[in-house]
């Protein structure tokens, strides 16, 4: 066995999944589409060795316990079973940004862990097959693993896996990312969503939008991609807010960013759209030539930092380890 380190990019949900039909297998109610953000990453080092006394998982410098550790071991145990390995494992993962919710770090974490473990165990699974295993930790990890603009199939010929639709060659997308913190866990939001009286309508709405999004990506139609993602963001949060706990995931700064985006688009004619995942953080989607102006506007008027990013690729192995 070997020590292997891998890196994966976070994802921005474009047509987002919300709620799980099967929580154990992390099977969603419908297909979903995302795009990777190049500037935000998780790096994970995985070391299988028979000399380890126990499995140890460290996330951002702290030992993982409870549900966090369980989700990681779901991925590891599935891969160990395939490799017929009984070796214990030590894992360390680290995000390159702290205190940001709704920017896809759970996806990049499990994608990097899955790729590192797959390589260390010499399983040689391709990314599409491996995405079915990464999904057991976080559903969106399937899309982070394959990179670019990607679709995760809820059920395609009896399988739930991801494949890349575009590596960013056709859709010339530039992103501004406004990171914000939140104590709410994504799984709590998923559980909430299915109790909303509007959940069934949302599932129907997403299924109708999926072929439109796929068509827009294939055509390289940036405005359609961004417009559909913006509409889906509002739908996602409306369902979360109308669940049994009435979760409000946005912050005052979230609303202020949305208002500035609309002002830039409507008053200045700048092609920019907002997008939200299950958290208060905001993605600013625009053309590359407008990115600097858009980010400067938000920083000046809303007084929040903005990270500029291109489209990120698939997960990859690295030579430098975390331990």
Closest by CA to 306, choosing from 321, 285, 322, 323, is: 285
Quick: pLDDT tens for 81-99. 999 999 999 999 999 999 8
The CATH code of domain 3-169 reads: 3.30.230.10
| CA 300 – CA 44 distance, rounded (Å) | 35
Quick: pLDDT tens for 234-283. 999 999 999 999 999 999 999 999 999 999 999 999 999 999 999 999 99
Beta-carbon neighbour count of residue 87 at 10 Å? 16
CATH of region 174-309, choose from 3.40.50.880, 3.30.70.890, 3.40.50.360, 3.40.50.300: 3.30.70.890
By the 10 Å C-beta count (0-12 exposed, 13-18 middle, 19+ buried), 77 is classed as middle
Residue 193 · residue 239 · CB < 8 Å: yes
Q: Which sequence spans correspond to the domains of the chain?
A: 3-169, 174-309
Q: What is the mean pLDDT of residues 208-227?
A: 98
pLDDT given at position 192: 85
pTM (2 d.p.): 0.96
Residue 146 · residue 113 · CB < 8 Å: no
Q: What is the mean pLDDT of residues 31-58?
A: 97
Name the percent of the chain lying above pLDDT 90: 94
* DSSP string over 69-95: HHHHHHHHHHHHHHHT---EEEEEEEE
Quick: pLDDT tens for 306-318. 999 999 999 999 9
- Tell me which H or E stretch contains 164: strand 162-166
Residue 7 · residue 41 · CB < 8 Å: yes
For the chain, the average pLDDT equals 96
């Amino acid at each position: 066995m070997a020590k292997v380190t891998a890196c994966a990019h976070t994802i921005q949900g474009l047509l987002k999944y919300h709620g799980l039909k099967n929580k154990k297998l992390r099977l969603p109610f419908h297909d979903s589409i995302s795009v990777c953000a190049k500037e935000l990453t998780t790096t994970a080092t995985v070391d299988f060795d028979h000399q380890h006394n126990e499995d140890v998982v460290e996330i951002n410098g702290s030992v993982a316990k409870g549900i966090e550790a369980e989700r990681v071991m779901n991925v590891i145990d599935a891969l160990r079973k395939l490799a017929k390995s009984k070796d214990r494992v030590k894992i360390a993962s680290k995000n390159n940004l702290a205190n940001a919710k709704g920017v896809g770090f759970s996806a990049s974490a499990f994608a990097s862990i899955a790729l590192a473990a797959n390589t260390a165990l010499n399983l040689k699974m391709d990314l599409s097959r491996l995405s079915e295993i990464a999904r057991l930790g976080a559903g969106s990890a399937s899309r982070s693993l394959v990179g670019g603009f990607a679709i995760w199939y809820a059920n395609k010929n009896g399988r739930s896996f991801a494949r890349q639709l575009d590596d960013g060659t056709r859709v010339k997308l530039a992103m501004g990312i406004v990171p914000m913190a939140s104590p709410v866990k994504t799984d709590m939001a998923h559980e909430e969503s299915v109790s909303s009286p509007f959940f069934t309508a949302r599932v129907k709405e997403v299924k109708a939008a999926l072929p439109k999004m796929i068509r827009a990506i294939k055509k390289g139609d940036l405005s359609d991609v961004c417009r559909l993602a913006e509409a889906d963001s509002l739908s996602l949060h409306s369902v979360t807010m109308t669940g049994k706990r009435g979760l409000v995931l946005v912050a005052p700064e979230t609303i202020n960013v949305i208002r500035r985006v609309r002002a830039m688009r409507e008053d200045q004619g700048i092609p920019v759209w907002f997008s939200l995942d299950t958290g208060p953080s905001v993605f600013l989607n625009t053309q590359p030539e407008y990115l600097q102006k858009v980010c400067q506007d938000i920083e000046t008027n809303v007084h929040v930092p903005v990270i500029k990013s291109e489209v990120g690729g698939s997960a990859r192995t690295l030579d430098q380890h975390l331990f």
